[in-house]
Structures are given as structure tokens and as C-alpha cells.
């Protein structure tokens, strides 16, 4: 159903205010990593939601609190998930304009948080206002869950979702993020991988020794390296018993979704500055692994002397950071136990899992009716049918909402919007289209 003319005009009319709202939010440096500006951002978001006619509550958490808002008719319920915090702005010197001073250049607005995800948030709120301006009652029930520490791993969210499960009930959730792909297609993303981050340590002598003593003393860098090599062999095979237990291969519709996605191998290679993909995989084979494969990645290695030249030292300590992307049915705690048991079995009791953190994967099935509802709504409202990615390569705490509602991510930014990097931007057209697309989705949710 295309937007009624009055609504379409109201969407246009709301754009300037949405832009001002975005500028005002970007000016608040709500950097959760430093615990800065979160209160001010929380209160500003609460005011925006109130002005859009919603009933707003601040739910206290161990962090800066969650903004919850609710309104609309008593039909089906759509929950919007967003966050009011942003990534740190450094390196500041790499920005062409100050990160917390929004600046418009060449049809884009630059500033920290424009794409991730203050732009999404203001476009969603503007769409609510557009209904009021058009004097059309909100066609469905609307809820907002806006948290303030997403960028540091959402430490407050599990408690909040546990406590407020009933208040958060919905028929579907529109998540933040997702972005247009390398070829400019709108994208829905239907899941996230889980993640397990491990810090692994091995300790040797009480102090760094002269390396000539390597005849007599064990080197913890070797121990660490052998223990890691035991986890995954040089062919890339993960050797941890039980690692893949319970993992199901992607179903027919998952594979069909992957098959339907366009091929941008060359752009991906160029973007990464790589000559080839792992194992030479290409096209649908590679995409299938991207969306449904696990990883066992070394994100950091530290031991001994790292300066210029050589210093012949036998280090007293070696450390690795490892991250593992999980697919459905893989439980982080179970995998930590499996690694510990495997290392014990293989003679690596001295290699310590010093700390770990993680959560499981979650996905919405590609054939869930809400996917079609949203796809149709976007096609009708902005004239672009989104591609449907059955999963996201990265991770997020979607698992908290499992069994509550289907979760679908759609965002207004482009894949190259420099999220988490200097010179983050969102296009003015992105913002305009975002308001329109959300208005269409709200209409569709209120429909039969």
C-alpha cells in the first residue's frame, strides 16, 4: 500500500525538523566507553519521544538507563530498538570537521553517531510525528526501547529485558543498523552471530630471562602457540571436540536467500586489500560461509620484545586474544568448557583461559511473515524492495529477545558510512527516505 498523499506530504514536512533533531543529538557527545554525555542524550531522546506523542518512561539500570516509550492504537505492536550512545571519536585528527559539530557537505551530514544510530532514531521518531501532522491515527501500537550502552556491549540490557519482558511484548522488532550494500541495495538482516571472546594466558619464569636459558626453561610463547595450533589446524579445521555439536546446516529457504543475494566478491576483495578469499572460495559458496559459518579468530598476540631490532629474551608471559563467532545452537559457556577439557586432554593445563565473555546467536527465519510485511512496505513507500540477508556476519544481543518476537534490522545508512571510524556520515536523502520507509512500515503493521 503506497503512502496516502497526506502522509507523504507530512513525511516531507517533517524532514527539516528531523535534521535539526539529528544535529541536536550529534552535539551531545554520548560516548559510553568514557561514560560521558549519556544522561544528556537519554533526556534529549525522552523529550523527542514525548513530543511525538508517546508515553515515555526512564527505566533505571546499572548503566545510564533505558528510555521506553509507547503509544498508538491497540492493533499489532511494532517495537523499535535503538541506542543513544556512540563510539569514541578518536582519532580526532582524522576528522575533516569536529566529530560533535554536525556539518553538512555534499548532501551528507557528518558527525559521530549520524549513521550509528542517531540518524535511524530521529527518522523513526519523525515518522511517528508525520502521522500526527497528517491527522492519521497511528495505525499500530508502537514501542521504543532506546538503550545507552550498546557500544560497550549492552551490559544493562539483559537485566532490563528480564525485568520488563511483558512491557516489551510485540509482534515484531525493527532493530537498528543494517545498511545498504556495496551495490546500493536496501538490506534487511534477520539475525546475528553469537560471540565468544577469550583472553588466553600462559606464564613461564617469574621474570624475562636471557634467551640463552631456553635450554633449561619453558618458553610460555611456545606453549601458547602450540595450544592455539591445537584448536585449529593449518587447514583451518577446528579440532575442539563438541564445537559443532547441535549445529544444523542452513535450511532450504536460508540457502535460497543466500543464492538470491548479489555477488560483490571483487568489491569485497578491493575493500579488504586482499588478493583472494580464504580457501579461494567465491560467490555463493563464500556467502554461505559468511552467513552460516563459525570463526575462530586470533585478534591479538603479545609476548616478549616487540620493538625494533632483536632482544634475545625468554618472555615470562604470553597472551592471546581469541574471538569465536557462533551460529545457532552454540553456547559460549559450553564451548569454553570444551576448550578447557580439550587443552587438559592435550597436555595444555598450563595454558589459562584468563577471562571470557560472550552470548549466543539468534535469528529470525527468512520465511517469517513479518519479513514479507516489511519488504512489501518498503517497496510501496520508498520504491525499493530490500534484499534479505538471512544473517549478519557480526554479533549483537538479539538472543535476549528470542521467543518474544521476530527481529529484523533495517537502517538508513550506507555500508561505507564510516561507522565506528572518523568522518561518519549519513546522507540527507537517507534520512528523508528513512522517515518515508518507517511510515510505510507502520502503515503495513496496522494493515490487515
Stretch that binds a second copy, among 10-18, 112-120, 196-204, 249-257 (CB under 8 A): 196-204
Out of 141, 143, 193, 418, point to the residue binding a second copy (CB under 8 A).
193
Q: How far is the CB of 229 from a second copy (least distance, A)?
A: 4
- CA–CA separation, 88 and 103 (whole Å): 18
Report residue 46 as a C-alpha cell.
525522552
* Interface characters, 274-313, with a second copy (x: CB under 8 A): x--xx--x----x--xx--x-xxxxxxxxxxxx---xxxx
Is 347 near a second copy (CB under 8 A)?
yes
Report residue 10 as a C-alpha cell.
507530512
Query: By three-state DSSP, how is residue 93 classified?
Result: helix
Q: How far is the CB of 195 from a second copy (least distance, A)?
A: 7
Q: How far is the CB of 307 from a second copy (least distance, A)?
A: 8
Backbone angles phi, psi at 285, to 5 degrees: -60, -45
Specify whether 14 is catalytic: no
Specify whether 85 is catalytic: yes
Q: Which of 438, 418, 436, 403 is nearest to 175 (CA)?
A: 438
Backbone angles phi, psi at 234, to 5 degrees: -65, -10
Query: By three-state DSSP, how is residue 156 classified?
Result: coil
Q: How far is the CB of 174 from a second copy (least distance, A)?
A: 22
Which residues lie closer than 8 Å to 415 by C-beta, 6 or more apart? 179, 180, 181, 182
Considering the candidates 85, 149, 151, 290, report the single residue annotated as catalytic. 85
Out of 214, 247, 353, 428, point to the residue binding a second copy (CB under 8 A).
214
Residue 131, CB-side half-sphere exposure with 13 Å CA sphere = 27
Is 232 near a second copy (CB under 8 A)?
yes
Out of 172, 195, 328, 441, point to the residue binding a second copy (CB under 8 A).
195
Under 8 Å between Cβ of 336 and 169: no
- CA–CA separation, 235 and 358 (whole Å): 26
Q: How far is the CB of 189 from a second copy (least distance, A)?
A: 12
- CA–CA separation, 389 and 391 (whole Å): 5
When the beta carbons of 323 and 352 are compared against a second copy, the nearer one is: 323
376's enclosing H/E stretch is: helix 369-382
DSSP 8-state symbol, 105: E
- CA–CA separation, 97 and 272 (whole Å): 26
Q: Which of 335, 278, 332, 323 is nearest to 298 (CA)?
A: 323
Out of 61, 395, 407, 414, point to the residue binding a second copy (CB under 8 A).
395
When the beta carbons of 169 and 354 are compared against a second copy, the nearer one is: 354
In a 10 Å sphere around its CB, with 0-12 CB exposed, 13-18 middle and 19+ buried, how is residue 91 labelled?
A: exposed
When the beta carbons of 228 and 370 are compared against a second copy, the nearer one is: 228
Chain positions 69 to 88 lying near a second copy, rule: CB under 8 A, are none
Q: How far is the CB of 7 from a second copy (least distance, A)?
A: 38
When the beta carbons of 289 and 353 are compared against a second copy, the nearer one is: 289
Other CB atoms within a 10 A radius of the CB of residue 102 amount to 23
Considering the candidates 120, 149, 150, 181, report the single residue annotated as catalytic. 150
Q: How far is the CB of 72 from a second copy (least distance, A)?
A: 35
Stretch that binds a second copy, among 89-97, 204-212, 243-251, 333-341 (CB under 8 A): 204-212
Q: Which residues are catalytic?
A: 85, 150
- Residues of this chain that bind a second copy (CB under 8 A): 193, 195, 197, 199, 204-207, 209-219, 221-222, 225-226, 228-230, 232-234, 268, 272-274, 277-278, 281, 286, 289-290, 293, 295-306, 310-316, 318-319, 321, 323, 325, 347, 357, 392-395
Amino acid at each position: 500500500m503506497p503512502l496516502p498523499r497526506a502522509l507523504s506530504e507530512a513525511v516531507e514536512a517533517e524532514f527539516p525538523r528531523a535534521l535539526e533533531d539529528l544535529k541536536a543529538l550529534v552535539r551531545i557527545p554520548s560516548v559510553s566507553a568514557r561514560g560521558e554525555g549519556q544522561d544528556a542524550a537519554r533526556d534529549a531522546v525522552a523529550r523527542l519521544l514525548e513530543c511525538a506523542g508517546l508515553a515515555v518512561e526512564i527505566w533505571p539500570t546499572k548503566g545510564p538507563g533505558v528510555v521506553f516509550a509507547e503509544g498508538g492504537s491497540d492493533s499489532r505492536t511494532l517495537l523499535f530498538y535503538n541506542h543513544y550512545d556512540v563510539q569514541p571519536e578518536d582519532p580526532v585528527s582524522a576528522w575533516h570537521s569536529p566529530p560533535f559539530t554536525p556539518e553538512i557537505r555534499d548532501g551528507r551530514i557528518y558527525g559521530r553517531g549520524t549513521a550509528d544510530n542517531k540518524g535511524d532514531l530521529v527518522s523513526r521518531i519523525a515518522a511517528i510525528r508525520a502521522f500526527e501532522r497528517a491527522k492519521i491515527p497511528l495505525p499500530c501500537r508502537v514501542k521504543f526501547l532506546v538503550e545507552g550502552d550498546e557500544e560497550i556491549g549492552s551490559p544493562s540490557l539483559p537485566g532490563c529485558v528480564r525485568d520488563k519482558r511483558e512491557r516489551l511484548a510485540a509482534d515484531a522488532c525493527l532493530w537498528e543498523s543494517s545498511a545498504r550494500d556495496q551495490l546500493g541495495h536496501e538490506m534487511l538482516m534477520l539475525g546475528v552471530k553469537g560471540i565468544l571472546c577469550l583472553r588466553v594466558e600462559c606464564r613461564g619464569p617469574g621474570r624475562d630471562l636471557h634467551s640463552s636459558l631456553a635450554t633449561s626453561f619453558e618458553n610460555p610463547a611456545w606453549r601458547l602457540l602450540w595450544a592455539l595450533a591445537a584448536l585449529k589446524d593449518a587447514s583451518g579445521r577446528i579440532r575442539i571436540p563438541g564445537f559443532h555439536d547441535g549445529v544444523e546446516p542452513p535450511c532450504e529457504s536460508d540457502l535460497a536467500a543466500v543464492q538470491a543475494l548479489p555477488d560483490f566478491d571483487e568489491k569485497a576483495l578491493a575493500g579488504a586489500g586482499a588478493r583472494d578469499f580464504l580457501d579461494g572460495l567465491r560467490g555463493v559458496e563464500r556467502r554461505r560461509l559468511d552467513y552460516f559459518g563459525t570463526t575462530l579468530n586470533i585478534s591479538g598476540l603479545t609476548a616478549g620484545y616487540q620493538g625494533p631490532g632483536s632482544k634475545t629474551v625468554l618472555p615470562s608471559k604470553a597472551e592471546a586474544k581469541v574471538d569465536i563467532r557462533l551460529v545457532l545452537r552454540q553456547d559460549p559457556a559450553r564451548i569454553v568448557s570444551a576448550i578447557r577439557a580439550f587443552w587438559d586432554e592435550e597436555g595444555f593445563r598450563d595454558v589459562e583461559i584468563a577471562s571470557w565473555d560472550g552470548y549466543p546467536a539468534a535469528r529470525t527465519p527468512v520465511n517469517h511473515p513479518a519479513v514479507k510485511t516489511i519488504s512489501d512496505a518498503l517497496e510501496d513507500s520508498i520504491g525499493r524492495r530490500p534484499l534479505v540477508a538471512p544473517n549478519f556476519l557480526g554479533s549483537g544481543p538479539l538472543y535476549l529477545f528470542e521467543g518474544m518476537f521476530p527481529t529484523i534490522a533495517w537502517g538508513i545508512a550506507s555500508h561505507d558510512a564510516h561507522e565506528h571510524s572518523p568522518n561518519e556520515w549519513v546522507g540527507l536523502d537517507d534520512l528523508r527516505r528513512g522517515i518515508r520507509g518507517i511510515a510505510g512500515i507502520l502503515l503495513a503493521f496496522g494493515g490487515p
